[in-house]
Structure 1
Amino acid sequence: MTNFSEVKPIDQLIQKMKDQKISFSKELIYVHTDKPYYMAGENIYYKAYLREASTFFLRQISKTVYVELIDPKNEIISKKLIRVDGEHNHGDFKLSTELEQGTYQLRAYTNWMRNFGMKYFYEQDIKIFQIDMENRREELASKTENQEIIDRSSNGYQQDYDLQFFAEAGHLVAGVPSKIGFKLLNENGLGQDFSATVFDNDGTKVEEVSSDHLGMGSLMLMPESGKSYYAILNKDLHKNQPKKYPLPSIELQGTTLKVFNSRDDLWVVQVISTDGKLGEGAFLLTSQRGNPLFGFDCTTSNTSIRIKVPMDNIQNGIVNFTLFDKNSQPILERKSFKYIPKVPVLETDQPAYKKREKVTLDITLPSNENGAKLAEASVTILDKNLIDLSVKEKTLESEWLFKEGIKGNIEQPKWYFDDFSKEKSHLIDNLMITQGYEKPLWVNHLEDTLKMDYLPERGISILGKTSSIWNKDKIRVSEITMTSLSSEKSFVDQVITDDEGQFTFTGMVFYDTTEFVFSAKKYNVKRAKTTENKNVDISLYGVDSPVIYPKSTQEFTSTFNALAAYEKEILEIEKINRAFDTKTIILDEIEIFDEADRSEFDRPGKLHSNAQTTIVIDQNTMAGMNMWQYLQTTPRASMLLRRAGVSGVGASLSMDEDGQVSELDQTLPIILDGFPVDMYELQSLMASDISFIEILDPIEASIYMNSSNGLIAMYSNTGNLSPNYTVYGINSFKHPGFYMGKEFYTPKYDVQKEEHIKPDHRITLDWIPNVAFDSLGKAQIEFYTDDKTTDYVIEIEGIHQDGELFYSTHDFLNK
């Protein structure tokens, strides 16, 4: 960071930017999948990357990621909870063979991201194909004859178009040579390449222009005072009344800004002002993703000032240049893009391999300025003749580097980084001037306060709400106790609900289905005291998925005939599986319980082994009597209750605002099927519902709560709560826990095994979600080829510990 003490006017602004970054820390997420498209019946393997949005450092405040697979009807068909902790940050979706063909959506987000809008979510279209045995895809010799290609020519432009022009930094000033970007969209909202002619208001031809990529391009123009300009598509020039597309209006006097970014290490910014803004006082702020970088005093009596901006230590991505007046109000803004590829070196020990031969892949990270070598990365290895990586729309680089600063849909974002060159840099600059242009309104929101409706999650969250058992619409502030019943890891916590009766338990980390029991007692807010009133209804729920909005999708546009070969290979794999798995019988999933012989007095969850007295209840004799009445007639039980200060005569009761008995002076030393009960439950429970009761002395009862005088343990006829009996103030909930991704299976042929007789056909040769690098930035991966003669492509994506992103591919041959 530059020392801002020399730039006094912007000190306060800089501090506001820093404060907002801390208060409203944002996150970015990306999901790397093993393939860009799939056949029904396959598995989608994926790895989630999560970072703090401004630096891409491991400073994000969330650890919990939701990954959803959404069908073409905008319904979630599978949802996984992933803990991004460096080990379990990957997962998979098993695709049913019955899935309909179409464009599915993979969506990932954190709960915290929802505070800032869905634009921070990760969304990826995934095409899932079905095999139609009666209408097979044909595998043709030509690599373009059998493709579903978008015809952007649209039969000679016979449709409506939207051609827009954008002045650099938003201002076109008379007498100042200016760069103007443009973009043409067809009626489908897609970029359309074109050529056009620019005229002035006198009808004089000024210049011919044509797009460079997907309807985007730029031109240089010297705007003249008193003139206006428009363009006509060349294909319409012959018409009597062709459609005219206006260029930006010309300001007689004004201020504009130019960026010269041809050098990697040093950029030049030129501010030109013909309206005296520089003489009044102005300064330039350079920032990236909300981080202030440099400040420059631009006050001068001249009409122009040139500023050199060092770029050595600035990360790849969008860089904002914002010009402020003497009152710290933004005048204009220009976005530019820095990109120096950080390409890891991928080397296989041979260029070509035999079938089932071991491949050793060495990965070396590129050196960076601060010597950082640690990184996080994932690798997939694919049959290049079956999977066309050119249809892949996004990478970690394109997703995060374009995320903040580009409006609307970016077509083919990955394309800008493939085989990066100076020409690609020019095309990205066109993107900055067109889709990247916006007024610097962000400055006006630096003091905004944002209501955070969604909490950051470091673990699993369980939410709930309490109300009166008698009136569900009536909020009941309560004390909630949560207890897990897991034998591996226990969770016990207690909270007081808010004034709306809402509560949240969060931060729990577990990977197996775990049952939780929640008990509630009314909380007296005025006395700041928990009562013994359990007339509380507990509603439990998880984190709901955000709304799913319909999206337009693009057609599948493979550049060669991969899909037909892919379908053929899927059928071949199925044929192999059927031939070699004929001795396998697949059964529906069943559960087998091995029950030991048990006494009728043994019950699941029973903690004690001996009882002072066991009483079997006579169902006929006790008909019509509730359990409170029954205990009063049982000498040992009534004696224990009197010792505990509770009896039919001596119990001290009070009424709550509902007119119900609200409180006992002491908690009852009574449990039912392992759960504590109170007076109301005893009065509503019939004695005929109970099989037996056990009276425990203080020593045997010491393993239970509230048992200093002993305990009465009651057990129902069914071993659980009777269907006619409602336990107030208790609810339970089973949570599946974080998902543990399945390990990708890849055979090893170093030791011969009987199962190796089966032909080996793999589409994804290997999937490594977490590549382990040493301190020198090196990693080594070993895997075996299969039985096909084909070309393979290795794809790696990842991020350095210093926030720099990388992507690379490498080919090898299997002979």
Structure 2
Amino acid sequence: MLSLLQRVFFYGLLISSLTAVGQPPSSVSALIQPFDNYRRHALQEKLFVHTDQAFYITGETMWFKVYYVDGTEHKPLDVSKVTYIELIDKDQKSVLQTKVPVSAGGGNGALFLPSSLRSGNYLMRAYTNWMKNSSPDFFFEKTLTIVNPFTPLGLPLLRETPDYDIQLFPEGGHLVQGLPGKVAFRIVDASGRGVPVRGWLLTAQNDTLARVSSHKFGIGNFTFTPSNTAGYRITLTDEKGHLVSRPLPTIEPQGYTMRLEESTASQVKITVNTNVEAASAVYLFAHTRNEIKAAELRPIQRETSFLIDKKTLGEGISHLTIFDANRKPVCERLYFKRPINPLTINLKSDLRQYASRTKVTLDASIQGANTQTKQAALSVSVYRLDSLAGSDSGSILSYLWMTSDLRGQIESPTYYLQPETPEVAQATDNLMLTHGWRRFRWDTILASAAPLQQPKQPFIPEHNGLLIQGTVTDPVSGTPVPNVITYLSTPGKPLRLYVSRSNAEGQVRFEMQDFYGAKNIIVQTNPQDSLLKLTVASPFSSSLSSTRLPDLSVRESQADQLLTRSVSMQVQGTYWGDQAIQYRYPQVDSSAFYGKPGESYLLDIYTRFPRMEEVLREYVLGVMPRKKQGHYRLYVPNAPYRTTFEEPSLVLMNGVPIFDMDKIIDFSPLKIKQIDVITNHYFIGPGVFPGVISFMSYKGDMAGFPISANALTLPYDGLQLQREFYSPRYETPKQIGSRLPDGRTLLYWNPELRTDAQGNVRTQFFTSDQPGTYVVDVNGLTTDGQAGSQRVLFEVKNTPK
């Protein structure tokens, strides 16, 4: 990210380059300044989720690690504190949801896969509250396969005619009559895999203009110059002779085209053509993940070209945009610069082959020429390979450098990051042509020459924990009601109360701290506002994903392997279930939200009275019950001023505000363990209260206290509790000879393995009774943003006990 001094120097270089073509320096700065202003205000977040594997059966637990980084430099980020994770079925319904706490070190969690899930492919997606301001295309997405072995697979019927999806992409975005252009095409089957094809480019009269063929993963390209604006189509045939045909995108009578080519080993050439008579100049603007890399203005009549030194472009995907003389974007193209020295993770197991129930020692070390630190956070999964479970559970390297900045699903993204060859280079360029991406709208950035005024975002970052959001509306008209004080309580321990005032849109926000696990929440207003309608919004995104889930590829011939895995899962649940379900509770402040009270009374040390009024009058010095117009009110002294508050105090029952003091007086004091009293003004959020009286039951629940009918009570899931991965140890003869069967196919999962200052780490685990080939799958990220992935294999052979 450029510093202010670097940015000023960069502007100077750009302005100097304009002098050669005689253009005013303000021309290019009119693009640079608003874009730079946008970049500084629009934080880009990225998430990557490493799952322990990509294939599951119901009854198993899915383990995952969340990596959270900034979208530009890929350094660990510490802004949002909550990640939302969903599992979405083919009908776009969210079947599982959870909220995971994250920090600069990431986060981790687990999802149990219930037997209610149907067999099929599911989409896992992850996002923060801030990311909901953008398109769901920016969320992390990953396809997972889940099979329910207790129900028929329900596989789709085979089609006589394949269901192919064909898309055509002109380079730069447009085909223009009379201008040379390149068109990329992509053809995939119902499972999302590329289909090898060959074919022809035809005119309306069926004249062949060019022969075409796919190169890799069903992607190819061809070039031609359209002589008219209609009638062109492409016809393709697969290896079985099935024919498909599609018309070319609209051919415009006037416009601009762009063509990118490798000019030399160190330069990229961008050629711009136009048939617009009034065209006088064009801009080239290049940025890598929102960091400005080049900006240049050149005159144009029919054609002009730009040369960019590859060294000026950042590693990964760069956007090259062409603007006309009025600074209107007319063409855009992606270019991929392969990372020169990505992080290398070296893995080595002490043996290549192991017996059952033996120790495996795994050593890992990191190397990276560009990293300034040897310390990295690693996530490690060790699972059995078979025809059901593939070896690819996701690579953080390919995701951060490629997939996260491209639109749509990428088949085998790791292929493009291997050492460059002519074949890999061509496949990579085809990918850039077919997967356009942009995290903003140019018309928003360039709407005015004045400094960009950022629009108000409806979703804010969750800096301090989970946000619960709701609305206050008029129940008759449905219009939002502003300036209403609302209270949210979570009966239980620790004692918590949250207060919010509705804004102009009737919205209220409660910033929850230490809110873990499933709890009941109670939301209410003051008595004078009790007729207003309160609703609590779901924190999960309602936007639908544009990703097309492939059909289930599991076949009936794999039934034996499914049965074996299902039996192993049931064995584990039967014999190891208690040990496998272990949770780590976070360390939180167990004191009440108001801290140490001025007065505190443990009622068990006093003589018990049958009525609450007697308890308050006899023992609780800081509470004064009074009766006005037939109803009780409770007051506390304003201790700092040695007076009594004129207004009733805030009264709580296990953190829930109570406004009817008659219910307090009538409630049995035998159910109350403690009474705390604050004898001064108490401030919480927008609320100011003349003292606080807090009643607490023995179990921290409402103990049968009647809750107001106007209060909104509903169950709400807080942040996920951390579940411990359980792996048995076989270190003694007794443990090795145990008759308890060990059917684990997932031997080891560790989401928080960290290297030392020298970049090394060692971990150990034990094999199970399941023979086969096992893969060690590792993803990692250093503190300065270098990502890497690695896999190694080993064998497990059964040995007689």
2:467 is matched with which residue? 461
Alpha carbons of structure 1 residues 63 and 261: separation in structure 2 relative to 1, 3 Å: farther
Residues 668 and 677 in structure 1, CA contact (< 8 A), matched pair in contact too? no
State which drifts further: 87-96 or 199-208.
199-208
Of 137, 146, 169, which residue of structure 2 is paired with 1:119?
137
> Amino acid of the residue matched to residue 294 of structure 1?
A
1:39-438 superposed matches below 5 A:
39-59=57-77, 61-70=79-88, 75-85=93-103, 89-97=107-115, 99-131=117-149, 162=166, 164=168, 166-167=170-171, 170-171=174-175, 174=178, 179-184=182-187, 191-199=194-202, 205-221=208-224, 223=225, 230=232, 233=235, 245-246=247-248, 249=251, 256-260=258-262, 263=265, 266-273=266-273, 280-299=280-299, 303-311=303-311, 314-316=314-316, 318-340=317-339, 342-385=343-386, 387-389=388-390, 394-402=394-402, 406-411=406-411, 413=413, 416-417=416-417, 421-436=421-436
CA distance in 1, matches of 2:695, 2:344: 69
CA shift at 1:766, angstroms?
0.8
Show CA shifts across 1:146-165 (max 9, x none): xx9998xx75x677875636
Alpha carbons of structure 1 residues 441 and 789: separation in structure 2 relative to 1, 3 Å: closer
Of 540, 544, 556, which residue of structure 2 is paired with 1:545?
540
Residues 692 and 715 in structure 1, CA contact (< 8 A), matched pair in contact too? no
CA distance in 1, matches of 2:104, 2:721: 12
Show CA shifts across 1:168-218 (max 9, x none): 564568586x54322346799875432113356786644322112343202
Residues 388 and 558 in structure 1, CA contact (< 8 A), matched pair in contact too? no
CA shift at 1:783, angstroms?
1.9
1:473-552 superposed matches below 5 A:
475=481, 477-480=483-486, 491=496, 494-499=499-504, 501-506=506-511, 508-511=513-516, 520-521=525-526, 539=534, 541=536, 543-547=538-542, 549=544, 552=548
CA shift at 1:801, angstroms?
3.3
Residues 488 and 523 in structure 2, CA contact (< 8 A), matched pair in contact too? yes
1:530 is matched with which residue? none
CA distance in 2, matches of 1:720, 1:806: 48
Alpha carbons of structure 1 residues 421 and 770: separation in structure 2 relative to 1, 3 Å: farther
CA shift at 1:503, angstroms?
2.3
Structure 1 position 798 matched with structure 2 position 747: no
Alpha carbons of structure 1 residues 79 and 375: separation in structure 2 relative to 1, 3 Å: same
Show CA shifts across 1:505-534 (max 9, x none): 215134466777777548xxxxxxxxxx68
1:602 is matched with which residue? none
Alpha carbons of structure 1 residues 48 and 562: separation in structure 2 relative to 1, 3 Å: farther
CA distance in 1, matches of 2:308, 2:650: 80
> Amino acid of the residue matched to residue 561 of structure 2?
A
CA shift at 1:396, angstroms?
3.2
> Amino acid of the residue matched to residue 378 of structure 1?
S
More strand by share: 2
> Amino acid of the residue matched to residue 432 of structure 2?
M
CA distance in 1, matches of 2:470, 2:399: 35
> Amino acid of the residue matched to residue 101 of structure 2?
R
CA shift at 1:306, angstroms?
4.7
2:442 is matched with which residue? 442
CA shift at 1:90, angstroms?
1.0
Long gaps (5+) in structure 2: 15-24, 448-452, 582-598, 634-643, 682-689
CA shift at 1:429, angstroms?
1.2
Residues 681 and 728 in structure 1, CA contact (< 8 A), matched pair in contact too? no
> Amino acid of the residue matched to residue 477 of structure 1?
N
CA shift at 1:104, angstroms?
3.4
CA shift at 1:380, angstroms?
0.9
Residues 646 and 666 in structure 1, CA contact (< 8 A), matched pair in contact too? no
1:554 is matched with which residue? 550
> Amino acid of the residue matched to residue 738 of structure 1?
L
Alpha carbons of structure 1 residues 228 and 136: separation in structure 2 relative to 1, 3 Å: closer
CA distance in 2, matches of 1:69, 1:735: 18
2:55 is matched with which residue? 37
Structure 1 position 814 matched with structure 2 position 793: no
1:744-783 superposed matches below 5 A:
744-754=725-735, 757=738, 758-783=740-765
CA shift at 1:98, angstroms?
5.0
Structure 1 position 571 matched with structure 2 position 567: yes
Show CA shifts across 1:612-659 (max 9, x none): 998656xxxxxxxxx9xx99xx9989xx99x97966589999xxxxxx
CA distance in 2, matches of 1:788, 1:652: 70
CA distance in 2, matches of 1:483, 1:127: 39
Alpha carbons of structure 1 residues 262 and 50: separation in structure 2 relative to 1, 3 Å: farther
Alignment RMSD: 5.5
> Amino acid of the residue matched to residue 164 of structure 1?
L
> Amino acid of the residue matched to residue 541 of structure 1?
V
Alpha carbons of structure 1 residues 741 and 424: separation in structure 2 relative to 1, 3 Å: farther
1:624 is matched with which residue? none
Residues 257 and 271 in structure 1, CA contact (< 8 A), matched pair in contact too? yes
Identity %: 20
Alpha carbons of structure 1 residues 397 and 262: separation in structure 2 relative to 1, 3 Å: farther
Residues 51 and 63 in structure 2, CA contact (< 8 A), matched pair in contact too? yes
Residues 230 and 246 in structure 1, CA contact (< 8 A), matched pair in contact too? yes
> Amino acid of the residue matched to residue 793 of structure 2?
D
CA distance in 1, matches of 2:255, 2:692: 91
Show CA shifts across 1:321-348 (max 9, x none): 1223444333422211222354422222
Alpha carbons of structure 1 residues 568 and 98: separation in structure 2 relative to 1, 3 Å: same
CA distance in 2, matches of 1:471, 1:308: 60
CA distance in 2, matches of 1:302, 1:384: 58
Computing the radius of gyration from Cα coordinates, the structure with the larger value is: 1
Residues 35 and 387 in structure 1, CA contact (< 8 A), matched pair in contact too? no
Alpha carbons of structure 1 residues 249 and 342: separation in structure 2 relative to 1, 3 Å: farther
Structure 1 position 666 matched with structure 2 position 633: no
Residues 174 and 252 in structure 2, CA contact (< 8 A), matched pair in contact too? no
CA distance in 2, matches of 1:250, 1:476: 51
CA shift at 1:472, angstroms?
10
TM-score, normalised on structure 2? 0.73
CA shift at 1:303, angstroms?
4.9
Residues 276 and 303 in structure 1, CA contact (< 8 A), matched pair in contact too? no
Residues 730 and 736 in structure 2, CA contact (< 8 A), matched pair in contact too? no
1:12 is matched with which residue? 30
Alpha carbons of structure 1 residues 538 and 269: separation in structure 2 relative to 1, 3 Å: same
> Amino acid of the residue matched to residue 791 of structure 2?
T
Show CA shifts across 1:700-733 (max 9, x none): 99845479x99999999x9998989665997777
CA distance in 2, matches of 1:692, 1:482: 25
Residues 388 and 562 in structure 1, CA contact (< 8 A), matched pair in contact too? no
Alpha carbons of structure 1 residues 367 and 469: separation in structure 2 relative to 1, 3 Å: closer
CA distance in 1, matches of 2:565, 2:656: 61
Show CA shifts across 1:334-376 (max 9, x none): 2112223544222223333333332222223231325343433
CA distance in 2, matches of 1:473, 1:382: 55
2:641 is matched with which residue? none
Residues 161 and 185 in structure 1, CA contact (< 8 A), matched pair in contact too? yes
CA distance in 1, matches of 2:601, 2:325: 76
1:573-722 superposed matches below 5 A:
574=570, 607-609=601-603, 616=610, 648=628, 666-668=646-648, 681=660, 689=666, 703-705=677-679
Give the 3-state SS of the residue equivalent to 1:50 in structure 2. strand
CA shift at 1:307, angstroms?
1.3
Aligned residues: 726
Long gaps (5+) in structure 1: 138-147, 523-532, 588-604, 618-626, 654-663, 695-699
